[in-house]
């Protein structure tokens, strides 16, 4: 995820000569004081409720050191100042993503994909009955490294085999350009595909090494990967039949959840579907009704 602007970098200093250096960080690339650790972990707690105890300091350092390098910063003091600035708003999400453990696998929360096939089949049947073109538009919001949109694409490919001639497009967005590059490459570690049914592995993946697989061009052609900050303006107009936004809203406060839920509802067709993460929920103000385990449906506004 790349912020809209980078804070200006300080002149690089060696750790040994830096005034914040202590015996705890003599060997570290960046000075990292106990107070800076506490400030960062409070940010994480305030946003997620996750408690990071003192024994997690090295873990936090290791994950955030990558962010400092990417941002071309030379100290945690500079990084904290950036987080506290207007330009650092989007970086707060990156901070949370870097510190929290993001489990991304194919067919995670498999009940969503079972529902997805049935829901899309019903949508297409209704379009056919009305004499409309068969068309499906799906959005994976916060797609990370792409396992989710590829799982969606597999279900859509299976639907196409049963009901051909459907115009299907899958939009996959994330703020992290590095994650998007992985998605566009379609190359993954075999471990991430452990939950993928064997029949799908045979159909839709190619083994390219002892540890890696590559997703088929059939799937890649269904997906468009784009960078997007969910909290900023959205260029797409919709409408969508399906939106996946899983394990993203857990990091937002209640007003942001309400706002985001309303924006999703506006982009969904009436009676279409939103899937969220297993530990998430949406407020009632969003015009989305919970109809199953972490499955919401937009309620058609009837006058």
Catalytic residues: 63, 174
Output phi, psi for 286, to 5 deg: -85, -5
- Using the structure block, give the residue that is written with the tokens 């949508």: 123
Q: Which residues, 6 or more positions from 66, have their beta carbon under 8 angstroms from its beta carbon?
A: 98
Contacts (Cβ under 8 Å, ≥6 apart) of 166:
124, 134, 135, 136, 159, 160
CB contact at 8 A, 299 and 289: yes
For residue 270, which phi and psi values (nearest 5 degrees)? -55, 135
Residues 6+ apart with CB under 8 A from 123: 136, 241, 272
């Amino acid at each position: 995820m790349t912020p809209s602007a980078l804070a200006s970098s300080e002149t690089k200093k060696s750790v040994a000569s830096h005034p914040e250096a202590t015996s705890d960080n003599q060997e570290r690339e960046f000075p990292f004081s106990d107070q800076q650790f506490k400030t960062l972990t409070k940010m994480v707690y305030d946003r997620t409720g996750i408690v990071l105890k003192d024994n997690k300091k090295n873990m936090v350092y290791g994950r955030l050191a990558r962010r400092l390098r990417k941002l071309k910063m030379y100290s945690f003091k500079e990084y904290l100042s950036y987080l506290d600035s207007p330009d650092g708003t989007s970086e707060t999400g990156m901070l949370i993503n870097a510190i929290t453990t993001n489990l991304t696998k194919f067919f995670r929360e498999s009940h969503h994909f079972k529902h997805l096939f049935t829901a899309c089949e019903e949508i297409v049947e209704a379009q056919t009955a009305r004499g409309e073109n068969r068309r499906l538009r799906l959005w994976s919001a916060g797609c990370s490294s792409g396992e989710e949109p590829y799982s969606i694409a597999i279900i859509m490919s299976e639907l196409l085999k049963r009901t051909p001639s459907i115009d299907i497009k899958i939009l996959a967005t994330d703020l992290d350009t590095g994650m998007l590059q992985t998605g566009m490459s379609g190359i993954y570690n075999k471990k991430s595909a452990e939950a993928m049914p064997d029949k799908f592995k045979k159909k839709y993946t190619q083994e390219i090494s002892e540890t890696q697989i590559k997703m088929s061009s059939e799937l890649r052609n269904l997906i468009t990967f784009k960078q997007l900050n969910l909290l900023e303006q959205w260029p797409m107009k919709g409408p969508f039949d399906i939106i996946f936004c899983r394990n993203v809203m857990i990091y937002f406060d209640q007003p942001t959840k309400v706002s985001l839920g309303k924006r999703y509802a506006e982009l969904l067709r009436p009676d279409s579907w939103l899937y969220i993460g297993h530990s998430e929920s949406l407020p009632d103000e969003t015009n989305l009704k919970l109809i199953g385990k972490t499955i919401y449906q937009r309620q058609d506004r009837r006058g």
